[in-house]
Amino acid sequence: MLYQLEGSQAVARAIALCRPEVVCAYPITPQTHIVEGVGELVRSGQLKNCQYLNVESEMAAISVAIGSEAAGVRSYTATSSQGLLYMMEAVYNASGLELPIVMTLGNRAIGSPLNIWNDHADAMSARDAGWLMLFAENNQEAADLHIQAFKIAETLRLPVMVCMDGFILTHAYEKVDLPDQNEVDEFLPPYKPAFSLDPKHPCAIGAMVSPGDFMEVRYMAHRRQLEACSVIEKIGTEFNAKFKRNMGGLLRTYQIENAETVVVAMGSVLGTIKDTVDELNHMSGDDKFGVLSLVSYRPFPDKVICEALKNAKRVIVVEKALALGRGGILAHEVELALKGLDIEIITVVAGLGGRVITKAMLAEVFKQPKGNLIFLGLNEDVIRREYKTVLDERGA
Amino acid sequence: MFQIRIHGRGGQGVVTAAEMLSIAAFLEGKDAQAFPSFGSERMGAPVVAFCRISEKEIRSREPILNPDAIIVQDKTVIEPARAFDGIVDNGFVLINSPVDVETDLKNARVKCIGATEIALEQVGRPIPNAVLLGSFAALTGIIKIDSVIKAINTKFSGKIAEKNVKAAQVAYEKTLGER
């Protein structure tokens, strides 16, 4: 059924449709409305048989989810930014212990300086933590990805992080089609854990692994990540056939058939990018520009990306994160996927800490990118002034 | 696509106004998107919220730079917030003020209404958002007053909803009469 909802509420309802039995809640902007929304659904009785736990920190949120998941119970939590950093030690444990927790990350910049607005620095900090990471382009996809996420997680016994842009999606009202409970029940059967901690059948998990075995354990985890590509694709296809949508999967392409330049991005900026590309193609009367929406960042679908981009002359990666002293993060991964092909790759670092991204700004760099590493909307005057101060301080 | 920018101060229901507008448009079968100026909402601080209404799918998420309509919930933010920036030719400007406000807008349809006064009278609280939406429906014809009423009833319940609906209706009739 169609609703006009805040993104956070749409996700809260989607979570409830997945019938988690434990939800760990700790507030942090801009994710807070999601766990508040789930709490309200538990209180009102719409989400039954669910323990809603107000924990004392993010570290506790993920730790409790690890505990309940290890006891064989479908578990959910959500966080943002510093909250994810605070839980990081246990984030690695969740994947290492093969626990299919689903967590929403309401993407937000990482301080210092303190900034509550959107970028992808938080997600990037977890890129090697062994979680699957899916990015939502709009609120429909945010809701749909959560329903897919539980199934993907439980099929692979791997935790899934669903990333949705803080404020831009979490606080935006838009139309969302939420499925009926019976439809979701058909798609997502009750959780049957492969193992669980049970006093009647004692077992241990998380035992110390010696140097003699550690490499093998890590290699197996690496291999499962690679295999996750086909599972994500299959479950996405199944979901879209059932719910008549085109959401999730590994990636989506837009107007790339004859495109010389393809723009690659993740998350909510893709809507603005598509409108920009449409306007550019319309103005020039051809279809030189196309878009690749990357949904699955972990696993990184090298082969599918390479197949989609192989005919492009230029690839522009627009990303909301920055590896200090290095440049793009997503762009380097795209570069690796396209290794050996004669394709120019340009990195556009954009929207850090909630910096506005407009169609006009994007159109300018898409038409005539100046350099291979561009900082969209960077105020050069401020940089010159500040850098001069730095040099003066050094007495140079 | 019809784009609306709402200016005001934290606590005046600016963000809620944009959300209710989007709900009203949704109820009429349109695509609608409402979003705040992202997290800067504090009591008393200048706040901006945006709403797009379209027959087609809305994808862009840039702030509204060229609004077809501007609603000003608090006229003291007009100058500091540059509230009229980018307005389209012949656009609508709805200002919360019991007396006419001088503007240097040449090609805009400017309307002033004492929304705070109506809110105080009808609701008993100085929250002008529902009143302005009633007036907006009459001024622009972009959404129906019935949809505004349904949107108010979606966001609020009980006495508060009832009183805000009445306030919106009063403003709607008043604006229609003065058009």
Task: Report whether pLDDT(B153) > 70.
Answer: yes
Q: Is residue A139 part of a domain?
A: yes
Q: Is B30 helix (H, G, I), strand (E, B) or coil?
A: coil
Cβ–Cβ below 8 Å for A354 and B59:
no
Task: Report whether pLDDT(B78) > 80.
Answer: yes
My answer on whether omega of the bond before A113 falls inside 30° of 0, hence cis, is yes
Q: CB of B85 within 8 A of CB of B66? A: no
Q: CB of B62 within 8 A of CB of A359? A: yes
CATH, residue A124: 3.40.50.970
pLDDT-derived band at B179 (thresholds 50, 70, 90) equals: confident
Q: Is A315 exposed, middle or buried (0-12, 13-18, 19+ CB in 10 A)?
A: buried
Say how far apart CA A331 and CA A127 lie, in whole Å: 14
Q: CB of A18 within 8 A of CB of A197? A: no
Partnered with residue B5 across adjacent β-strands are B50, B70
| Chain A residues with beta carbon closer than 8 angstroms to that of B32 | 4, 173-175
Q: What pLDDT score was predicted for residue B37?
A: 86
For residues A223 and A294, membership in a common domain is answered with no
CA distances to A297, A315, B154 from A171, in Å: 23, 31, 17
Task: Report whether pLDDT(B57) > 90.
Answer: yes
| Chain B residues with beta carbon closer than 8 angstroms to that of A268 | 61
Nearest to A272 among B22, B38, B62 (CB): B62
Q: CB of A163 within 8 A of CB of A123? A: yes
Q: Is A106 helix (H, G, I), strand (E, B) or coil?
A: strand
Say how far apart CA A364 and CA A355 lie, in whole Å: 17
pLDDT-derived band at B145 (thresholds 50, 70, 90) equals: very high
Query: What are the tokens at A29?
Result: 């902007």
Domain boundary, last residue among A210, A243, A276: A243
| Chain B residues with beta carbon closer than 8 angstroms to that of A354 | 38-39
Q: Is residue A51 part of a domain?
A: yes
Distance from CA of B63 to the nearest CA of A (A): 8
Question: Which range marks the domain in which residue A214 is found?
Answer: 2-243
Say how far apart CA B140 and CA A273 lie, in whole Å: 30
What's the number of domains chain B is made of? 1
For residues A266 and A212, membership in a common domain is answered with no
For residues A72 and A216, membership in a common domain is answered with yes
| Chain A residues with beta carbon closer than 8 angstroms to that of B62 | 272, 356-359
pLDDT-derived band at B45 (thresholds 50, 70, 90) equals: confident
CATH, residue A297: 3.40.50.920
Task: Report whether pLDDT(B40) > 60.
Answer: no
Q: What pLDDT score was predicted for residue A38?
A: 98
Cβ–Cβ below 8 Å for A275 and B27:
no
Cβ–Cβ below 8 Å for A175 and B27:
no
For residues A165 and A238, membership in a common domain is answered with yes
First to last CA, chain A: 65
Distance from CA of A153 to the nearest CA of B (A): 29
Backbone angles phi, psi at B49, to 5 degrees: -135, 155
| Chain A residues with beta carbon closer than 8 angstroms to that of B22 | 4, 173-174
Q: CB of A263 within 8 A of CB of A308? A: no
Cβ–Cβ below 8 Å for B38 and A167:
yes
Domain boundary, last residue among A243, A275, A299: A243
Distance from CA of A155 to the nearest CA of B (A): 33
Q: What pLDDT score was predicted for residue B161?
A: 97
CATH, residue B17: 3.40.920.10
What's the number of domains chain A is made of? 2
Antiparallel, parallel or unpaired: β B31-36 and B46-54: antiparallel
Query: What are the tokens at A337?
Result: 């996927």
For residues A263 and A366, membership in a common domain is answered with yes
Q: Least CA distance to A271: which residue of chain B?
A: B59
Say how far apart CA A241 and CA A298 lie, in whole Å: 23
| Residue A277 DSSP class | H
The string of DSSP codes covering A280-302 is HHHHHTS--EEEEEE-EEES--H
Domain boundary, last residue among A243, A264, A294: A243
CA angle B22, B26, B31 (to 5 degrees): 85
Residue ranges of chain A with per-residue pLDDT less than 70: 396
Q: Least CA distance to B58: which residue of chain A?
A: A271
| Chain B residues with beta carbon closer than 8 angstroms to that of A271 | 58-61
Distance from CA of A394 to the nearest CA of B (A): 36
For residues A206 and A272, membership in a common domain is answered with no
Annotate A16-38 with b (16+ C-beta within 10 A) or e (fewer).
bbbbbbbbbbbbbbbbbbbbebb
Query: What are the tokens at A221?
Result: 């985890």
Nearest to B61 among A30, A175, A271 (CB): A271
Question: Which range marks the domain in which residue B41 is found?
Answer: 2-178
Place of tokens 């295999």: A227
Query: What are the tokens at A173?
Result: 């009202």
Q: Is A128 exposed, middle or buried (0-12, 13-18, 19+ CB in 10 A)?
A: exposed
| Chain A residues with beta carbon closer than 8 angstroms to that of B39 | 29-30, 116-117, 167, 171, 354
Secondary structure of A194-236 in HEC code, one letter for each residue: CCCCECCECCCCCCCCCHHHHHHHHHHHHHHHHHHHHHHHHHH
User: CB-hemisphere CA count at 13 Å for A357?
Assistant: 31
For residues A226 and A284, membership in a common domain is answered with no
For residues A274 and A233, membership in a common domain is answered with no
Say how far apart CA A47 and CA A61 lie, in whole Å: 19
Q: CB of B72 within 8 A of CB of B7? A: yes
Q: CB of A378 within 8 A of CB of A350? A: no
Nearest one of A126, A133, A53 to A89, comparing CA atoms: A126
Nearest to A4 among B22, B58, B65 (CB): B22
Cβ–Cβ below 8 Å for A168 and B35:
yes
Place of tokens 């996927």: A337
Q: Which of 47-106 (B) contact A at CB < 8 A?
A: 58-63, 65
Q: Is residue A314 part of a domain?
A: yes
Cβ–Cβ below 8 Å for A117 and B22:
no
For residues A93 and A152, membership in a common domain is answered with yes
Task: Report whether pLDDT(B38) > 80.
Answer: no
| Chain B residues with beta carbon closer than 8 angstroms to that of A356 | 62-63
- Give the mean pLDDT of B151-169: 97
Distance from CA of A218 to the nearest CA of B (A): 40
ipTM of the complex: 0.95
- Cβ–Cβ pairs < 8 A, chains A and B: 70
CA distances to A81, A265, B101, B132, B164 from B89, in Å: 42, 34, 19, 22, 32
- Give the number of residues written for chain B: 179
Say how far apart CA A261 and CA A252 lie, in whole Å: 16
Say how far apart CA A319 and CA A120 lie, in whole Å: 8
| Chain A residues with beta carbon closer than 8 angstroms to that of B61 | 168, 172, 268-269, 271-272
More confident residue, B37 or B164: B164
CB contact set of A4 (below 8 Å; sequence gap of 6+)? A173, A174, A175, A176, B22, B23, B26, B27, B32
Cβ–Cβ below 8 Å for A117 and B38:
yes
Q: Is residue A231 part of a domain?
A: yes
For residues A335 and A225, membership in a common domain is answered with no
H-helix or E-strand spanning residue B32: strand B31-36
Q: Least CA distance to A351: which residue of chain B?
A: B62
Query: What are the tokens at B169?
Result: 């209706």
Question: Inter-axis angle of helices A269-284 and A359-367, to 10 degrees?
Answer: 60
Partnered with residue A142 across adjacent β-strands are none
Cβ–Cβ below 8 Å for B36 and A167:
yes
Task: Report whether pLDDT(B39) > 60.
Answer: no
Distance from CA of B121 to the nearest CA of A (A): 30
Cβ–Cβ below 8 Å for B32 and A175:
yes
Distance from CA of A278 to the nearest CA of B (A): 11
Say how far apart CA A356 and CA A378 lie, in whole Å: 11
Q: Is residue A178 part of a domain?
A: yes
Q: What pLDDT score was predicted for residue B43?
A: 74
| Chain A residues with beta carbon closer than 8 angstroms to that of B148 | none
B34 touches chain A (CB under 8 A): yes
Radius of gyration of chain B (CA): 15
For residues A137 and A109, membership in a common domain is answered with yes
Say how far apart CA A214 and CA A210 lie, in whole Å: 6
For residues A255 and A192, membership in a common domain is answered with no
